[in-house]
Amino acid sequence: MSKLSPSDTSAAARPADLADSADSVDSVDSAGLRHSSQQPGAEQHGRRISRVMLLQRELNDKPVPVPRPSAPTATAVARASAALRAHGVEPVGPDCTDHVDLVLVLGGDGTILRAFEIARERDIPLVGINTGHVGFLAEADPDGIEQVVADLVAGRYTVETRTTLNVEVICPDGTVTRDWALNEAALEKRDRARMIEVAIGVDGQAVSSFGCDGLIMSTPTGSTAYAFSCGGPVIWPEVEALLLVPVAAHALFTRPLVLGPNSCMEVVIQRVGFGGAEIWCDGRRSLDVPVGARIRVTRAERPVRLARFNEAPFASRLVRKFDLPVEGWRASSSADEAHSPEEDALRQPILTTSGKSAEGERRRSSSGGTA
């Protein structure tokens, strides 16, 4: 097991005061004052929404087909814009520099992650409508656009704060680059033929070193994304924790680590193939990671704010989004329920070779005599 040097451990300082937790909820009273509460499901009342930023798939940096008037996203955007205007709310685009009350984004999880860059910078809630594939971060489907707008205008929603990550790369020459992530910070190699040799530490203590294809440092929100695909556990959003998941590690002890919310994850790049390595934040922004660099990941002080209309538990969302097989979970157990022949056979006493039931044999042996 490799050890971090004393000079390295002294730099593992963690934020002392993180007031924003993963399960806190903001509520707004009739006077428009925002109050913070730890009770999930607190309602937001009476806040007048006058301007909503409407975003869609064009946020993607990659080339996308020109939206057709009949395309699902284009149709949904037109309906959302019409519904907002019908309620006296002005829809604006991402270039708007005036005050905006909320971000309404139509697309998949990738588009929603990109929209969070704008929402986080302005410190305003975001609500997503899924026109993509899984849409784990989306709150509604396109069929419910008009109802979503009506609930927004009426203030019938809650605001959850979701943990974000602060990512810091310290290069050997002293250069420091920083970024943030909502889902995960993923360390990846550029040379596909060689592994990355890394040493990982937590809170200044060396934990392990091994070769791998990469590492994923995730929030509870990102535990259902890349980290999930690499064998990481699903963490409920209200749980305050951080997650470290190795990717294709060549070692015996490479289990995912679930860490405390105030922990500091450190990764030292010991050896890497041609081209070096890079760390991707939400698959959106990348930082170069040369050999000898140190990556430090902690919980960020500024979270993101996610608007919710549905009071259903996270387990329901998990089952619905992943289409999990749950048939037979709550089978009827009433007393008058008829049992199948197979079940009746299992309920019959087992006979021994002497013709006596095994239950009677057990009673005699436990009591020390005959029944």
Q: Each residue of 39-76: pLDDT tens digit?
A: 333 344 446 788 999 998 765 555 555 554 445 788 88
Q: How far apart are CA 334 and CA 345, in angstroms?
A: 19
Q: Each residue of 191-217: pLDDT tens digit?
A: 888 999 999 999 999 999 999 999 999
Instruction: Report the pLDDT averaged over residues 35-42.
Output: 37
Domains delineated in the chain: 6-14+165-299 (2.60.200.30), 25-162+304-322 (3.40.50.10330)
Closest CA to 187 of 67, 295, 327: 295
**Residue 237 burial class via C-beta count within 10 angstroms: exposed 0-12, middle 13-18, buried 19 and up:** buried
Q: How far apart are CA 221 and CA 52, in angstroms?
A: 24
Write out the H or E segment, with its range, that includes residue 185. Answer: strand 184-189
Q: How far apart are CA 146 and CA 341, in angstroms?
A: 52
Q: Residue 155: left (phi > 0), alpha (psi -120 to 50), or beta?
A: left
Q: Each residue of 102-151: pLDDT tens digit?
A: 999 999 899 999 999 999 999 999 999 998 888 889 999 899 999 999 99
Residue 109 is among the residues annotated as catalytic for this protein: yes
pTM reported for the whole predicted model: 0.74
Q: Which of 109, 203, 323, 344 does the annotation list as catalytic?
A: 109
